[in-house]
Amino acid sequence: MYHYLEEEIDQLRTKVIKMGSLVEEQLDFAIRSLFERNLELAKIVIERDEKVDKFDVKIDKLCQRIFALTQPVAVDLRIILSALKINNDLERIGDIAVNIAERAEPLKDNLNILSEVGLDVMAEKVKIVMRKTIDSFVNNDHDLAFSVIKSDDIIDDMDRNIFNKLVEMMESDSSVIKPCAHCISLLRHLERLADHATNVAEEVVFLVDSKIIKHKNILDNPDINPEDII
């Protein structure tokens, strides 16, 4: 029985890693489509969302099968519980990548606004956070996961600063209200991406350390510097 469980757990980890790689690529394509004015790339992101959804269903069904046919305990149980939650966040990241790709067309003539307020910098930092999040799961890297969690405050600060800049622009020039509204939508998507990445990193800590750290203050550890990753 345990040999069967071990094979199923290995298959589950493999599927979650593939799912992570897929949504990471979706995010990369979405951001590139926006800042490179590449509407064909945006179209690819939108069309491939169905593939992300299929991965989501497959992982859920595999977890259900493992629960139904085995009695996982200890680390095996943690892997399954973490996989379910990580899968949910990855699916949402895939959805947000589509939302970002959909901003490519309405913002294609206003990239100067994105650069002026710092949305390009924020987008690159979110991509880095996403990549490090996936790496933390692949390598069971406790420290990297903690760094990702701490970096969420940096993204939140950028979110507030950029929002204020966009409001100031709209107040001073009514002609930019429409593109700035799209920028605010993009800003919210990027901030939510960082939140989902943080959720995944928290599950990695749960998986590695068997500790639930959601809603706890972990920012007092001087050994972890979020600037090291973003």
User: Which architecture does CATH list for 2-228?
Assistant: Up-down Bundle (1.20)
* pTM to 2 decimal places: 0.90
What pLDDT digit, counting tens, does each position of 64-119 carry?
999 888 887 788 898 999 999 999 999 999 999 999 999 999 999 999 999 999 99
Which pLDDT tens digit goes with each residue over 146-181? 999 999 999 999 999 999 999 999 999 999 999 999
Query: What 3-state class would DSSP assign to 211?
Result: coil
pLDDT score of 8 more than 80: yes
Give the H or E element holding residue 214. Answer: none
What gap in Å lies between CA 147 and CA 149, rounded to an integer?
A: 5
